Amino acid sequence: MRTDFGYFEEKKLGKPYDVKLLRRLYPFTWPYKIFFAGSILLVVFITLLDLSLPYVTKIAIDRYIVPQITPDKFEKRDSAQHKTGHKTGHKTRSLKADMSDPEIKTVVNNYPDLFKIDGDFAYIPFDKLSRLDKKELAVLRKADLSGITGITSIFLAIIIINFGLNFIRIMIMEYTGQKIMHDLRMRLFTHIQGLSIAFFNRNPVGRLVTRVTNDIQNMQELFTSVIAFVFKDLFLLIGIALVLLSINLRLALVSFAVLPFVVYASIHFSVRARDAFRDLRIKIAQINTRLAETIEGIKVIQLFLHEKKNYHNFARLNHENYLTGMKQVRIFAVFMPVVELLGAIALAVIIYYGGGGVIAESISLGALVAFIAYMKMFFRPIRDIAATYNIMQNAMASAERIFQILDNRESMPQPVIGPSSRFSSLEKIHEITLEDVSFGYVTDETVLKEISFKLVAGETVAVVGRTGSGKTTLINLIARFYDPVSGRITINGIDIKNYPTSVVRSKMALVMQEPFLFSGTIRDNIRQGKTDISEEMMEQVLKTSNCKTLINRLPEGIDTILSERGASISSGERQLISIARAFANNPDLIILDEATSYIDSETEHSIQEALFNLMKNRTSIIVAHRLSTARHADRIIVLHKGKIIEIGSHVELIKRKGLYFRFNQFQMSQPSTIIR
């Protein structure tokens, strides 16, 4: 027996594979390269605007709020200066007033002892401004007030423009991300539909649902945020570093001393977060698988009182998911405060050295304020880059599993279709031949052994045998759900592999024991994508398949919406709809997997009549569990342990008194018995 069940999560995700995955995602982004380019261009402008805000604040403080530090030309050496050893020409903060303004000149003349005049300008020490009246101070500083008004307008304009550009960028990236996810989801869905039945036998439904839903959704932030923010954060880091170095080289270098610790913390926690994200994806897939199995098997669970054990199994998975989630939370709970702490240390260093510089008059107050603002900005992209890296790892964990499905090539090999192709179409099935066909689902476990027979157009062949003899496997090979391990199957003398599977299956219809109906209307279930069925044709299909009684009983008729798997109607009614679906396809070959095995006698009569209409003038293969079904076939194939041991009509096989004869005798003594 196979034991791996396709559980491909065990492979580890590492950095080299991250790069490989990014390269593989690139083709999905290429159709939207213009949008990415536009977004990156917007990011450049937004970054420049972000960088300008602290510098505008610096200008407002140094030029208009706090006067510049200027050499004092007017104070002479006095006795106190001689005693303290200070020299003339020391620096002081002074307000420069333009005396060409009559109002300012009046204020200057009112306080001759406070102002020092130098040509058309008057200077007043900043610490003496408090001696002026508020109105006089407003007159004296009206140029500063006007400048602050202008600076404020510029500040607000930058914020508004920044808001507008950010809105446009977000809309562009969200649109692009949604389109890429749409394309990726359709690519994955199309690929899954084309995979062989063997793949689905090994992979639970919940896992595949997780790939198409959760894992694709996890890719959204990679396309909508990560790509743009990586550029923005890098531009912002470089821009802030250059601005800080230009404002004050020494203070900038002192501030950068804490950066190695920040980089180390970011790398350390990002690596741990990557593993946590990956474990979380595995646990979510396991929960989805368990939930899907519970819903599909709820009858069995309730019948065998399995609720308690199933609850404990789910509780264990849910607890493991909780622990994994808390591991991720703990990583971020430590990382974010660590970065905040390092940022606070950097600010403390700036305040200490920068404040000393302001006191020593080697740096302006506005420059110090700008430095603090820039350093706060500097740590924001560092946090963002670390968080972005974790988002990317989450997306890479999902991309890993998405591409593991896309890399799966378990689909039926298709012939090369081109102008010179001879077998790309199939007008009609005249004969089907099996030549020494052998098959096994796994190595060293043969299910069918050297099967050979021919089925000609219009013939009805029944296949009988005990459970495990290979009856269902035989029809799976004819429908090309699997290919033989050895031997070959031909249609009209041509190997079935030389036809596209879509061409072969378009000429066949399969009516199973337990028919599968999709959620939707009865009409859609019958048409199954065939839009060329007219109302007249549909009416004929309903009549010959004995569905009219069912349709007339339902309030919405043929447009009645069925629940999932057609659970809202009986099994017999589902079977009639599946027969109508086969009629609508107008196949050359009908394959019946004993469509009346679980039907009551009254409904069975209606289904038998519909099947008789369906098989009329068509080639048919019947997997018969009741020999009453097989006895009317043109030929009966008796399978035993994967081999054909008898072929002939009912009468011929009864005369031989072989295995079929013993089956018949047994069922005659127990009429309700079905061969299993």
Q: Is the domain of 502 the same as that of 387?
A: no
Q: Is the domain of 363 the same as that of 283?
A: yes
The reported pLDDT for the residue numbered 18 is 65
Q: Which residues pair with 510 in a beta bridge?
A: 591
The reported pLDDT for the residue numbered 432 is 92
- CATH value at residue 317: 1.20.1560.10
pLDDT digits (tens, 9 = 90+) for 179-217: 988 999 999 988 888 888 888 878 777 778 878 888 888
Q: Is the domain of 308 the same as that of 339?
A: yes
The reported pLDDT for the residue numbered 128 is 81
Domain's final residue, options 406, 435, 457: 406
- Which residue has tokens 């009986």? 570
Residue 499 lies in a domain: yes
Q: Which structural domain, as residue segments, surrounds residue 630?
A: 425-506+623-676
- Does residue 548 contact residue 583 with C-beta atoms inside 8 Å? no
**Nearest-5° angle of CA 55, CA 58, CA 61?**
155
Q: What is the DSSP letter of 77?
A: P
**Nearest-5° angle of CA 447, CA 448, CA 453?**
160
Q: Is the domain of 269 the same as that of 357?
A: yes
Residue 612 lies in a domain: no
The reported pLDDT for the residue numbered 463 is 92
Residue 471 lies in a domain: yes
Residue 473 lies in a domain: yes
- CATH value at residue 490: 3.40.50.300
| 498 burial type by CB count under 10 A (0-12 exposed, 13-18 middle, 19+ buried) | middle
pLDDT digits (tens, 9 = 90+) for 124-181: 887 787 788 888 888 888 888 888 888 899 999 999 999 999 899 888 888 888 898 8
Rg value, the chain, Cα? 41
Cα–Cα distance for residue pair 618/579, rounded to 1 Å: 14
Cα–Cα distance for residue pair 675/462, rounded to 1 Å: 13
Q: Is the domain of 356 the same as that of 450?
A: no
Instruction: Name the E strands within 440-528.
Output: 448-456, 460-464, 486-491, 494-495, 508-511, 520-521
Specify whether the backbone of 192 is left (phi greater than 0), alpha (psi in -120 to 50) or beta. alpha
Quote the number of domains for the chain: 3
DSSP assignments along 206-254, one per residue = HHHHHIIIIIHHHTHHIIIIIHHHHHHHHHHHHHHHHHHHHH-HHHHHH
Rounded to 5 degrees, what are φ and ψ at 150?
A: -65, -40
Rounded to 5 degrees, what are φ and ψ at 69?
A: -80, 120
Cβ neighbours of 192 (radius 10 Å): 17
> Which tokens sit at 245?
């170095």
* Average pLDDT per 10 consecutive residues for the chain, totaling 676 residues: 40 56 84 88 88 87 69 45 45 75 84 83 80 82 84 92 91 88 90 85 78 82 72 82 85 82 76 74 80 78 81 89 85 78 83 81 81 82 71 78 85 71 73 92 86 91 88 89 91 89 86 80 81 82 85 84 76 84 86 67 74 85 80 89 90 88 77 52
Position 347, amino acid: L
Q: Is the domain of 251 the same as that of 352?
A: yes
Residue 150 lies in a domain: no
Q: Is the domain of 137 the same as that of 175?
A: no
Residue 553 lies in a domain: no
Q: Is the domain of 247 the same as that of 372?
A: yes
Q: Is the domain of 371 the same as that of 223?
A: yes
Q: Is the domain of 224 the same as that of 125?
A: no
Cα–Cα distance for residue pair 44/657, rounded to 1 Å: 88
Instruction: Tell me the three state secondary structure of residue 525.
Output: helix
> Which candidate, 39, 262, 345, places its Cα nearest to that of 165?
39
Q: Is the domain of 119 the same as that of 258?
A: no
The reported pLDDT for the residue numbered 600 is 57
Domain's final residue, options 357, 373, 406: 406
Rounded to 5 degrees, what are φ and ψ at 463?
A: -120, 120
Residue 281 lies in a domain: yes
**Nearest-5° angle of CA 423, CA 532, CA 613?**
80
Domain's final residue, options 346, 375, 406: 406
The reported pLDDT for the residue numbered 635 is 92
Cα–Cα distance for residue pair 174/172, rounded to 1 Å: 6
Q: Is the domain of 274 the same as that of 371?
A: yes
Residue 521 lies in a domain: no
Distance between start and end Cα atoms, the chain: 21
Cα dihedral 275, 276, 282, 283, rounded to 10, equals: 160
